[in-house]
């Protein structure tokens, strides 16, 4: 049959080599697949190119945390978020995730798991789970530091930013002690005879005292290890931090210093240990003579009549835990059970048991308390081991100062709730991050 006039003759269609050849021409599915593959390759190239930017973002987040924490928890929280985003972005971009294992992390996982079990089985499971997340998420700063800080110079920047900002907070606390006014929030401070109770930028004297303890131990250790370049700068930071602590009139932190400072000295030998004990005694005598109110406050430690509320809270906590030894009552259910288990007596506060150990025992039972204490025992062992193994003066100082800070919190935590205080929990995990990072650097680079 003759071809129809004007009809365009059939021509072979050009086909892309896509692996989905169609004898009739290019299949729409083939084109879409090719486009998706090209888009995927382009996105992957972009992410790989951005991996360095994600690393920078993570570093910036940690720097922001260290610089902001002495002044406010707001930039510190933003810093943690940026560090996590940067870590996740780098991992997705390079398809290579920064992970590090450690026995402390294993105990931490069990501790969190058991607390979740306690919360889920509590009378208020959602409330308890949200409270658990709110109280424990500061541990992310430790994880980010341990997993991402790979260079000792980066660790130095973090510590120097933290100490520089903390020195401002310490000076502000000393001004508060004499002036009696908290300019940051516009409130008058609690009078302590002729002086006033310092609260720093964080608004509460116990929080400020616990925070300054970490500053004194870190700066003092750096001075102690003879970091020649700016050694006396470290000494100045430690000194103003110590006087800021005196101005808080926080007895539990004073007790921590009495227990921990001799260890700091004896770590360098018997002679130096005795010198440190003598120097500490001299400083305390001068401080208490200059501030008689501080001497009265210290004497109240041994007066049962001035500790009756704490003793009543401890007895109530033991009564409460007696019926929940294994699972506990779940996070933040103390108020739910308080009236049922409280002992008779005077109370001017009932917010918590006034002891970190009793708080954990009540919340998560004996398994939770065992994991909690085990984490810190391992941390102390890691600190001592790192201090002995390295010849690098900075890493020795960080391991020593971090170990002393953790030990100080453990002593103070007998008498007060420091781990459950948000700012103190942040600085506690920050110090653990410093310690584990120093430990990993020593182990990997044999510094």
Query: Burial level of 417, CB count in 10 A (0-12/13-18/19+)?
Result: buried
Q: How far apart are the first and last CA of the chain?
A: 92
At 22, is the secondary structure helix, strand, or coil?
coil
Q: Which of 121, 51, 48 is nearest to 90 (CA)?
A: 51
The two tokens of residue 85 are 């985003």
Task: Give the pLDDT score at 49.
Answer: 63
Residues 6+ apart with CB under 8 A from 183: none
Task: Give the pLDDT score at 189.
Answer: 87
CA torsion through residues 438, 439, 440, 445, sign: positive
Query: Burial level of 15, CB count in 10 A (0-12/13-18/19+)?
Result: middle
Task: Give the pLDDT score at 299.
Answer: 61
Q: Which of 42, 57, 151, 50 is nearest to 94 (CA)?
A: 50
The two tokens of residue 170 are 């310490």
Task: Give the pLDDT score at 297.
Answer: 63
CA gap 420, 413 in Å, rounded: 10
Q: Provide the 10 A C-beta neighbour count for residue 234.
A: 25
The two tokens of residue 425 are 């929990």
**Alpha-carbon torsion angle 34, 37, 38, 41, nearest 10:** -170
Query: Burial level of 309, CB count in 10 A (0-12/13-18/19+)?
Result: middle
Task: Give Cα separations from 86 to 55, 140, 159, 348, 440 (angstroms).
Answer: 6, 13, 20, 45, 21
Task: Give the pLDDT score at 240.
Answer: 94
pTM of the model: 0.85
User: H or E element: which one contains 250?
Assistant: none
At 307, is the secondary structure helix, strand, or coil?
coil
Task: Give me the average pLDDT of each 10-residue run along the chain (447 residues).
Answer: 46 46 50 66 65 88 97 95 93 84 94 97 96 94 95 95 97 93 86 88 92 94 79 91 89 84 74 78 72 64 72 94 94 93 87 93 97 96 93 93 95 92 95 96 79
Query: Burial level of 164, CB count in 10 A (0-12/13-18/19+)?
Result: middle
CA gap 132, 110 in Å, rounded: 14
Residues 6+ apart with CB under 8 A from 314: 353, 354, 355, 358
Task: Give the pLDDT score at 32.
Answer: 64
Q: What is the DSSP string of 300-366?
A: GGG-GGGSHHHHHHHHHHHHHHHT-SSS-S-TT-HHHHHHHHPPSS--S--SS-S-HHHHHHHHHHH
Name residue 188's beta-bridge partners: 181
CA gap 8, 10 in Å, rounded: 7
The two tokens of residue 227 are 């970091």
**CA R_g for the chain:** 29
Q: Provide the 10 A C-beta neighbour count for residue 109.
A: 11
Q: Which of 253, 238, 244, 237 is nearest to 173 (CA)?
A: 244
Catalogue the E-assigned strands of 278-324.
none
Task: Give the pLDDT score at 23.
Answer: 47
Q: What angle do CA 136, 408, 267 make, to 5 degrees?
A: 130
Q: What is the DSSP string of 156-213?
A: HHHHHHHHHHHHHHHHHHHHHHHH-EETTTTEEPPEETTEE---TTTT-HHHHHHHHH
Name residue 191's beta-bridge partners: 196
The two tokens of residue 160 are 């120097």
Task: Give the pLDDT score at 70.
Answer: 96
Specify the pairing of strand 187-188 against strand 181-182: antiparallel
């Amino acid at each position: 049959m003759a071809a129809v006039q004007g009809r365009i003759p059939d021509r072979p269609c050009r086909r892309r080599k896509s692996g989905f050849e169609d004898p009739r021409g290019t299949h729409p599915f083939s084109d879409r697949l090719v486009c998706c593959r090209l888009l995927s390759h382009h996105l992957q190239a972009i992410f790989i190119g951005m991996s360095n930017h994600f690393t920078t973002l993570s570093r910036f987040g940690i720097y922001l945390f260290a610089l902001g924490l002495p002044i406010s928890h707001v930039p510190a929280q933003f810093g943690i978020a940026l560090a996590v985003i940067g870590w996740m972005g780098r991992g997705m971009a390079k398809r290579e995730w920064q992970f590090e294992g450690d026995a402390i992390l294993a105990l931490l996982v069990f501790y969190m798991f058991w607390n979740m079990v306690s919360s889920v089985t509590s009378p208020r499971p959602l409330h308890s789970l949200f409270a658990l997340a709110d109280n424990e998420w500061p541990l992310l700063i430790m994880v980010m530091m341990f997993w991402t800080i790979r260079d000792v110079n980066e660790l130095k920047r973090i510590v120097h930013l933290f100490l520089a900002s903390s020195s401002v907070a310490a000076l502000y606390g000393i001004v508060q002690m004499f002036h009696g006014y908290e300019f940051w929030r516009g409130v008058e401070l609690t009078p302590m005879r002729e002086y006033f109770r310092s609260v720093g930028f964080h608004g509460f004297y116990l929080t400020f005292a616990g925070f300054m303890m970490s500053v004194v131990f870190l700066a003092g250790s750096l001075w102690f290890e003879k970091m020649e370049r700016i050694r006396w700068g470290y000494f100045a930071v430690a000194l103003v931090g110590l006087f800021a602590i005196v101005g808080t009139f926080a007895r539990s932190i004073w007790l921590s210093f009495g227990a921990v400072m001799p260890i700091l000295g004896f770590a360098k030998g018997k002679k130096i240990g005795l010198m440190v004990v003598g120097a500490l005694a001299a400083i305390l005598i001068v401080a208490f003579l200059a501030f008689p109110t501080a001497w009265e406050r210290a004497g109240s430690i041994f007066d049962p009549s001035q500790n009756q509320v704490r003793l009543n809270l401890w007895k109530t906590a033991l009564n409460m835990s007696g019926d929940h030894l294994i699972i506990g009552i779940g996070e933040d259910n103390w108020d739910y059970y308080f009236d049922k288990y409280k002992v008779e007596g005077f109370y001017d506060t009932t917010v918590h048991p006034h002891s970190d150990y009793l708080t954990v025992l009540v919340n998560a039972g004996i398994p939770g308390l065992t994991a909690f204490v085990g984490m810190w025992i391992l941390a102390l062992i890691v600190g001592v081991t790192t201090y002995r193994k390295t010849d690098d003066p900075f890493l020795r100082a960080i391991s020593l100062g971090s170990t002393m800070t953790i030990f100080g919190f453990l002593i103070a935590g007998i008498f007060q709730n420091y781990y459950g205080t948000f700012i103190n929990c942040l600085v506690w995990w920050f110090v653990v991050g410093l310690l584990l990072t120093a430990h990993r650097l020593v182990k990997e680079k044999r510094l």
